[in-house]
Structure 1
Amino acid sequence: MSLDDSDHELIVDHLGREPTPAEAALFENLWSEHCAYRSSRPLLSAFDSEGEQVVVGPGDDAAVVSLPAGEDGSEAYITMGVESHNHPSYVDPFDGAATGVGGIVRDTLSMGAYPIALADSLYFGDFDREHSRYLFEGVVEGISHYGNCIGVPTVTGSVAFHDDYEGNPLVNVACIGLIDDPDRMVTAEAQQPGNKLVLVGNATGRDGLGGASFASEDLSEDAETEDRPAVQVGDPYTEKLLIEASERLLDEDLIESARDLGAAGLGGASSEMVAKGGLGADIELDAVHQREPNMTALEILLSESQERMCYEVTPENVEEVKAVAERYDLGASVIGEVTEGNYRCTFEGETVVDVDAHFLGEGAPMNDLPTEPQPTAERDLPDADLDAALESVLSSPNTASKRWVYRQYDHEVQVRTSVRPGDDAAVLAVREADVGLAFSSGADPNWTDAAPYDGARAVALENATNLAAKGAVPHAAVDCLNGGNPEKPDVYGGFSDIVDGLAEMCRRLDVPVVGGNVSLYNDSPSGPIPPTPTLAVVGTKDSYDAPPLSLSGEGDILLVGEGPVAGGREARLGGSEYLSAFGGTDRFPAVPEDPSGFVETAAAVADRETTLATHDVSHGGLAVALAEMVSGDAGASVTVDGSTPALFDERPGRVVVETTAPEDVRAAFDGVAPVTQLGSADGSGTLSLSLDGETTTLEAEQIQAYRDVIAETLE
């Protein structure tokens, strides 16, 4: 990339001169789409980001949210952040995914938090393609290696396969951090002129150069070889030392503000810190500890070498900070100080950067791009044989078990994980606040490809339903908004629709969206990705326990929410795995009229002693939800009205409940959502489905064989 002509003219007009090569490179990266959100920022005002629980909202390295106060009045905060590492993961799936984990963890550290949980939402091309499987295996290995080495559990997430990710996979990683004492919180806003800037962590090398600009352009056919230098190389063992050193710095109250070195490296982190405080800085690039000889000023400024933090430190605390770094075998350099003037960088005695920090960080003009409305699907619904439909949908990699993925992650390190991966949501025991914290993350590209606005609303509702099924009420969310080239009106129209749909449903659920990330230009010679709104949501509950997904075999089975043909309406299968398997088109299903009431009531019912099992109905519809609940000797006998498609309707806002008190469940949902008796659980170890007078029975072993397609293919 190079500076756009109009940007160049604006910069020259502001500076009154031509920018130096280092300044031009800084502007190129910090004014890129990846850093400046030039095409997306005009849309993001649609999100509600405020609430009494919101301590720090969008704009910092991570958001900060307060947890409900403990019985003794104690307070604790969590941080929430999400990041994309899409282009790097295509070029180098292992290092691209690994450094995505490292980056979001450092965002957590920079707020004064200790990372306690990760979620990964991953999107690849068709699973049948060898290249897709190569990327999939490499990404999962990179996430597991880095997360396991640093001792942060990966507890939830999602995996989806869709042909339009073949040339551009998505790797979205979210992190939750814990601040057990509000006084430990720091931000990325520089506080006081005269304070020193101290760089702590790995030495600076030439890896990751131009990563921000690389992430702001379409992938080329030769990206896997030509763009390899733009991908960072991670060192999780150094990151673990950095995590522990950060804790010691906070314990000893040695830092005033902090920023991790991510996009645009030192230049991005240091200029953004001082810009947030309305200040400037004098930085000596020669003082940066370096891994490679003869590095230029531009290389030192823009290197995205990993495992580095920039701290603002009072002069009297500098030696103590250096001592802590030495104790943890980390490099430490005093690289400059905060000033009231411009952002200035010197190298070998010459000034190479002298610009206003606010103009550098916030001066990029926003793009005003045209949009095209997305077409509405016509009804063309196939009526497949039930046995064939069950086999095809249950064995789809999209609905199949993801055990092959999450069993590679250490999800029990830190001894907080009460509900493990593989359920609707993870549940963490936050003992410091005596709170159960549920965590869900994901999106469904089939939904948003079919209907961007309605599909995004369904993504928000499904994540909230995941929490509710485990007895938690949604508390806050962050989003990772992925799209193709925004300069294409149809692509930007779909992206605009997912923003509006996600914002509208989060507003109806009263869930503040406290931060996030935007990744555009996910386009390649094979075409744009589907608009993909990954949402990571946390919910709170009074206990650490939750009803299981698996049936007990002892209760009645109820469907809560609109039935497939409730009120005489036919099933709508737009965006469903059924249509993906058998072809055809259809309109996307409607969301419930009272999604907030549904979620709150579902959470309350899930926590009752009479509730034996709960499971969200989503990908694959009711048939998949019921099959997933069959386990061991526990089975079910179910009757559903309607034709075959009725079992595969993916209408959002539904949950299956196994209960010993069905009338109590009906009473709880009276006026909120319909409740339908499907049948009863038993000890048969089979799923018996009666549909339109015909009965099909699936053995637990047969269901498991269908659902093990990923593991069977890769092992």
Structure 2
Amino acid sequence: MVEMVSNPMANEPNPTDIQTTKLYEAWGLTEHEYDLIVDELGRLPNYTETGLFSAMWSEHCSYKKSKPVLRTFWSKNERVLQGPGEGAGILDIGDNQAVVFKAESHNHPSAVEPYEGAATGVEGILRDIFSMGAQPIAVLDSLQFGDVTSKQTQRLIDGVVAGIAGYGNAIGIPTVGGAMNFDATYQHNPLVNVMAVGLLDQDLLHVGKAEGAGNVVLYVGATTGRDGIQGATFASAEFDSSEDQNRSAVQVGDPFMEKLVMDATIQAIQEYGDVIVGVQDMGAAGLVSSTAEMADKAGMGMILDLDQVPQREENMTPYELMLSESQERMILVVKKGHEDAVKQIFTDADLNAIVIGEVTDNKQYQLTFDGALVADVPVDFLTSAPKVELPQTEPARLVEATTAQYQPEVTDATAVLKQLLAQPTIASKAALYRHFDCSVRADTVIKPGGDAAVVRVRGTEKALAMTTDINSRYTYLNPYIGGQWAILEAAQNIVATGAEPIGITDCLNFGNPDDPEIYYELAQSVAGINEVAQVINTPVISGNVSLYNETDGTAIYPTPMVGMVGLHTSTDDITTIQAKQAGDVVYLVGELKAQFNGSEIQHMQTGSVSGDLFSINVDHAQAVQAKILEAAQSHYVNSIHDIAEGGLGVAASEILFGTPFGAELTLAAPIGNAFSEAPSMFIVTVAPAEQAVFEALMGDEATKLGEITENPTLKLVAQDQTINVSVSDVESMYKDSLWQQLQ
């Protein structure tokens, strides 16, 4: 029996020093948590063990503070093959195929090192997909930045965009869509959320479990270095502008190495899936999280020989080896006796493939180094951070808010339209997303710039629509309604392409949860998302929580990002936003009302948002979307575009961009209503031959506005004003303004 040593490395603090100096607090453990560890072990933990607990009990790994809220998510229906708890969620799309998807945040690393932070965000989420046995087919992003004219923001944008492009393009996975918003709330704490989507033959599905005593633990991929150490703890603390941020906690990625790891892992699962017991990527908290979680999910133990871990730096300690977040590394658990065949696939690709341990039946997590036992802790205790019950308090701004609506100043409606189209959140992001290769693999049908991206399922008639959506201003004004709105907007983007929404992932970006008002915002946003998810039958099958997004005690707006996937059973049903021909009839679908609180026009004219939001009739919103979907799949419509930021005026302009057409429209309301925002509104064009069947389907949900014209002018006649503008004038405003502001 290997004997336990209390102080594995002479230059590290001994257990007594750790207790006396409270070193554990600098690593994110509370005194109460440290005392629990001491009681459980019956002794003082050594330096390595304290590091293991600090990482595994961090919010980023354990979700100890957010888990009570996350458990309320609805995550099961007839399509769900794998819900939350694994690398990614999985939905049945028929024909023994499944779609695999998840979103992750890389906010803190991107704020410190924009290029590497964003690049490794892409890298990590791709590993979550192929660790399930799936082939990644698409990446999307959701980026939130501060003042676009700030040099700091411009530096962050340049780095983040370059990081996403540099990694995604090099590995050969298309970046097909996303969202990019700007608001002062993100000035010191940008958000970089990344979503990946993959395809899987259901009989190849693998999860991260370490079953079977004696089975071997196989380390594959790149070597381990000192980059990313304590990254999980770093992501579980807020920023302080008076301190230098921890750049050593940011990982450094290599997309060419990741491509080798991805291809070899998928090949190994395809050829030896019957002897590969479990697969998991080494993400947050590196080697400890991947192996400990695999053992715990199987109710087993594990012993690792750290002398076998391939290193790229000299004299690495057990603490460093276990907590490094070096990229391009995977753990496979393989049935004993079959490891050589699996290893060969990786060695043929010039990758490390080394047995570093085995599964045990004693439910202990044990590490050896230099012939000595340097850590020995119960697996289930290591992976089960103590439950935290946090109080909630409704913020005073919400208690005092009324639904009395902001009244925009619209003395010159044409000028207001142009100003809105130039707003950074609305203006074209093409100058930035042109850096992303959206067509590699040759399956992208709808590229960035549409309501949602669409990617063909190769070899079938099917396609997948996908989007990321967010509007933190609404969530700031009313977290519950903002959560509802986020998922409804995602759904309306999916149905606008003719696809049926089938499931969601999320990134929940909030401030410090110890603040009762922040925790209230989190809980209410989740409740709003959850209600709509059940009504529209889109289970929450995966996701991520990013807390502590604040600087010097000032939090970002509550920002729940919703990533959604939809299914096209036939590519013939795919619908796009551009008007197709002169003479087509233009309709408004949904209820247009004077709703301006939280809107783009309120923010543009006042520099902020205020007021409460009108309640949402979710059943009615779903009914409208269902009719839109039926119209698309019945081929009654030539184009569909959802009405979002900027309202009808902006949407009417956007359907004309990139076409030779104009439109003559009449609005039976004041011109200001052309800039109001509400969920489940669409602008639709219909060929005259389909007008009767379209109107019969829509009933009173559709209002005829006018028609598409050959004259390339947008004319919108309201009760009190008329917009009459050359399409080329507003299109140039839309296309050029963001780029100009970035100079």
Paired with 1:476 and 1:191, the residues of 2 have a C-alpha distance of 30
Paired with 2:419 and 2:652, the residues of 1 have a C-alpha distance of 15
Paired with 2:313 and 2:588, the residues of 1 have a C-alpha distance of 62
Could you say which residue in structure 2 is the equivalent of 1:371? 393
Q: Does 1:602 align with 2:628?
A: yes
Q: Does 1:83 align with 2:104?
A: yes
Could you say which residue in structure 2 is the equivalent of 1:265? 286
Q: Does 1:236 align with 2:255?
A: yes
Cα displacement (A) at 1:222: 5.2
The secondary structure found in structure 1 opposite 2:337 is helix
RMSD in angstroms over aligned alpha carbons? 1.6
Q: Does the CA-based 8 Å contact 2:222-2:327 persist in structure 1?
A: yes
Could you say which residue in structure 2 is the equivalent of 1:588? 613
Paired with 2:426 and 2:477, the residues of 1 have a C-alpha distance of 18
Paired with 1:367 and 1:612, the residues of 2 have a C-alpha distance of 52
Q: Does the CA-based 8 Å contact 1:162-1:445 persist in structure 2?
A: no
Cα displacement (A) at 1:487: 1.3
Which of 210, 216, 223 matches 1:190? Answer: 210
Paired with 1:642 and 1:64, the residues of 2 have a C-alpha distance of 45
Could you say which residue in structure 1 is the equivalent of 2:416? 389
TM-score by length of 2: 0.92
Could you say which residue in structure 2 is the equivalent of 1:667? 696
Which of 56, 67, 74 matches 1:41? Answer: 67
Choose 200-209 or 609-618, whichever is displaced more. Answer: 609-618
Could you say which residue in structure 2 is the equivalent of 1:524? 551
Q: Does the CA-based 8 Å contact 1:467-1:603 persist in structure 2?
A: no
Cα displacement (A) at 1:358: 1.2
Within-5 A mapping of 1:306-455: 306-341=327-362, 342-373=364-395, 374-375=398-399, 376-377=401-402, 378-385=404-411, 386-455=413-482
What do the CA deviations read for 1:121-160 (whole angstroms, capped 9, x no partner)? 0111121222112111211110011001111111111011
Cα displacement (A) at 1:340: 0.7
Q: Does the CA-based 8 Å contact 2:670-2:720 persist in structure 1?
A: no
Could you say which residue in structure 1 is the equivalent of 2:738? 710
Q: Does the CA-based 8 Å contact 1:689-1:696 persist in structure 2?
A: yes
Paired with 2:335 and 2:705, the residues of 1 have a C-alpha distance of 66
Could you say which residue in structure 2 is the equivalent of 1:692? 719
Choose 362-371 or 208-217, whichever is displaced more. Answer: 362-371
Paired with 1:407 and 1:66, the residues of 2 have a C-alpha distance of 33
Paired with 1:242 and 1:290, the residues of 2 have a C-alpha distance of 17
Q: Does 1:252 align with 2:271?
A: yes
Q: Does the CA-based 8 Å contact 1:426-1:440 persist in structure 2?
A: yes
Could you say which residue in structure 2 is the equivalent of 1:503? 530
Cα displacement (A) at 1:693: 4.0
Q: Does the CA-based 8 Å contact 1:446-1:577 persist in structure 2?
A: no
The secondary structure found in structure 1 opposite 2:427 is coil
Choose 512-521 or 317-326, whichever is displaced more. Answer: 317-326
Cα displacement (A) at 1:695: 1.9
Within-5 A mapping of 1:143-162: 143-162=164-183
Q: Does the CA-based 8 Å contact 2:148-2:741 persist in structure 1?
A: no
Amino acid at match of 2:391: L
Cα displacement (A) at 1:473: 0.9
Which of 271, 290, 301 matches 1:280? Answer: 301
Could you say which residue in structure 2 is the equivalent of 1:562? 591
Q: Does the CA-based 8 Å contact 1:167-1:527 persist in structure 2?
A: no
Q: Does the CA-based 8 Å contact 1:573-1:645 persist in structure 2?
A: no
Q: Does the CA-based 8 Å contact 1:260-1:308 persist in structure 2?
A: yes
Q: Does the CA-based 8 Å contact 2:455-2:465 persist in structure 1?
A: yes
Amino acid at match of 2:268: L
Choose 24-33 or 485-494, whichever is displaced more. Answer: 485-494
Amino acid at match of 2:612: R
Paired with 1:310 and 1:626, the residues of 2 have a C-alpha distance of 51
Cα displacement (A) at 1:171: 0.6
Unpaired stretches in structure 1, ≥5 consecutive residues: 565-570
What do the CA deviations read for 1:352-383 (whole angstroms, capped 9, x no partner)? 21111111112432232332243324544232
Cα displacement (A) at 1:526: 7.1
Amino acid at match of 1:448: T
Cα displacement (A) at 1:337: 0.4
Could you say which residue in structure 2 is the equivalent of 1:208? 228
Q: Does the CA-based 8 Å contact 2:90-2:98 persist in structure 1?
A: yes
What do the CA deviations read for 1:169-203 (whole angstroms, capped 9, x no partner)? 11111111111x22211100112111111111110
Q: Does the CA-based 8 Å contact 2:406-2:602 persist in structure 1?
A: no
Q: Does the CA-based 8 Å contact 2:451-2:577 persist in structure 1?
A: yes
Amino acid at match of 1:24: T
Which of 527, 534, 544 matches 2:571? Answer: 544
What do the CA deviations read for 1:76-98 (whole angstroms, capped 9, x no partner)? 11111110000000000000000
Identity %: 38
Cα displacement (A) at 1:452: 1.6
Which of 503, 519, 540 matches 1:492? Answer: 519
TM-score by length of 1: 0.95
Q: Does the CA-based 8 Å contact 2:118-2:163 persist in structure 1?
A: yes
Aligned length in residues: 700
Q: Does 1:26 align with 2:45?
A: no
Paired with 1:66 and 1:389, the residues of 2 have a C-alpha distance of 46
Paired with 2:63 and 2:198, the residues of 1 have a C-alpha distance of 25
Amino acid at match of 2:556: I
Cα displacement (A) at 1:434: 3.4
Cα displacement (A) at 1:433: 4.9
Q: Does the CA-based 8 Å contact 2:139-2:176 persist in structure 1?
A: yes
Q: Does the CA-based 8 Å contact 1:233-1:306 persist in structure 2?
A: yes
What do the CA deviations read for 1:667-702 (whole angstroms, capped 9, x no partner)? 2123xx621111111111221111224322121221
- Report the CA distance shift for 1:523/1:48 in structure 2 as closer, same or farther (over 3 A): same
Q: Does 1:616 align with 2:645?
A: no
Q: Does 1:575 align with 2:598?
A: yes
Q: Does the CA-based 8 Å contact 2:406-2:597 persist in structure 1?
A: no
Paired with 1:167 and 1:435, the residues of 2 have a C-alpha distance of 42
Paired with 2:527 and 2:171, the residues of 1 have a C-alpha distance of 37
- Report the CA distance shift for 1:200/1:12 in structure 2 as closer, same or farther (over 3 A): same
Q: Does 1:289 align with 2:310?
A: yes
Q: Does the CA-based 8 Å contact 2:621-2:679 persist in structure 1?
A: no
Q: Does the CA-based 8 Å contact 1:204-1:303 persist in structure 2?
A: yes
Paired with 1:612 and 1:5, the residues of 2 have a C-alpha distance of 63
Paired with 2:194 and 2:31, the residues of 1 have a C-alpha distance of 35
Paired with 2:369 and 2:437, the residues of 1 have a C-alpha distance of 44
